[in-house]
Amino acid sequence: MREIHAITELRDALAKERAAGQSVGFVPTMGALHDGHLALIAKAREDCDLVVVSIFVNPAQFDRRTDLASYPRDPEGDSRIADDNGVDLLFCPSVEEMYPDHYYTYVFVEDLSAVLCGSVRPGHFRGVTTVVAKLLNIARPDIAYFGEKDYQQLVIVKRMVADLNMDADIVGVPTVRDADGLAISSRNTLLNATEREDATVIPRALFMARDMAGRRGVAASRIMERVRMAIGEEPRVRIEYLNVVDPQTLRDVRQVDDKALVAVAAYVGEVRLIDNIMVGPGA
């Protein structure tokens, strides 16, 4: 595996590979690599000749300085994991490399960025779409891979790529869960043992939602009431938002006829976790 820090070096390396007919799979990450990232890397490995992973903790997508400061970082561990998992090129730019002085350009996907996480994390998706647009322009992959755990991010990135006529195919990879159901996330490492245990109420509530919405016509309000009750049994878990939405538009639905996404954000202690599940007869 080759580790690259400069944009020009990555561009040159990839231009040579492309000229030799190699297809490029790209996995953008913020590091602290875990099994969720490994599922993205494995899919890229399966589909493409060359696998490029980026590690960049993107300041533009953090609405709170404390969140950026406490974001887990492990550059040496990440490099080892990437190497062990068949990554060809690991791109680790600095903040100055990505956002030099006099950086003024941002990409914003309207509407989809205003709901769910966008309603409580102002500027977050503007930061995500900006960095993803930059990374896609730099790496020019055939396919880029995103986890379905960040479902809203996946929908927004797909919209941006379609709207801006970008070339990459955007592929979503199913959420990886621990044995107790908790969706794997870099933020899980910030939970203490009690919080880690408390957090399992979130997937349990979502699985219950999936079970109750298996037939046509279940009211979204009923699903939300039951999920709130289930999560409410764990007093240390505080729901930030809970919505039942159309999987494409991310707008609230009144009832589940075919497929809907139940999306939740909750604080477990100081740690904010998000999760979602597709429900309905078509799910």
Binding string, residues 30-49; x marks residues near ligand PAF by CB under 6 A: x-------------------
One of 5, 34, 37, 124 is an active-site residue; which one?
Answer: 37
The contact pattern for ligand PAF, residues 85-124, with x = CB under 6 A and - = no contact, is ----------------------------------------
- Binding segment toward ligand PAF, per CB under 6 A, in 26-34, 166-174, 226-234, 260-268: 26-34
The answer to whether 129 contacts ligand PAF (rule: CB under 6 A) is no
Question: Least distance to ligand PAF from the beta carbon of 127, Å?
Answer: 7
As measured in angstroms, the least distance from the Cβ of 129 to ligand PAF is 9
> What backbone torsions phi and psi does residue 184 show, to the nearest 5 degrees?
-75, 130
Phi first, then psi, for residue 90 (nearest 5°) are -110, 115
The single residue among 142, 150, 195, 275 that binds ligand PAF, judged by CB under 6 A, is 150
Query: Does position 132 bind ligand PAF by CB under 6 A?
Result: yes
Nearer to ligand PAF, 45 or 124 (CB): 124
What long-range pairs does 259-262 form, CB within 8 A, spacing at least 24? Answer: 259/283, 260/213, 260/220, 261/151, 262/206, 262/209, 262/210, 262/213, 262/223, 262/227
Q: Enumerate residues 182-241 that contact ligand PAF by CB under 6 A.
A: none
Catalytic status, residue 102: no
Q: Of 142 and 198, which CB lies nearer to ligand PAF in the complex structure?
A: 142
Interface residue with ligand PAF among 131, 205, 231, 262 (CB under 6 A) is: 131
Q: Does 29 bind ligand PAF (CB under 6 A)?
A: yes
Comparing CB distances to ligand PAF, the nearer of 131 and 244 is 131
Whole-number minimum distance, CB 123 to ligand PAF, in Å?
13
Q: How many residues bind ligand PAF (CB under 6 A)?
A: 10
Residue for token pair 């195919």: 169
Distance CA 240, CA 248 (A): 22
The least CB distance from residue 182 to ligand PAF, in Å, is 17
**61 lies in the site for ligand PAF, by CB under 6 A:** yes
Q: What does the angle CA 155 – CA 181 – CA 143 come to, to the nearest 5 degrees?
A: 30
How many CB atoms are located within 10 Å of the residue 179 CB? Answer: 5
Under the binding rule (CB under 6 A), the answer on residue 141 touching ligand PAF is: no
The residues that are catalytic are 37
- Name the site residues for ligand PAF (rule: CB under 6 A): 28-30, 58, 61, 128, 131-132, 150, 153
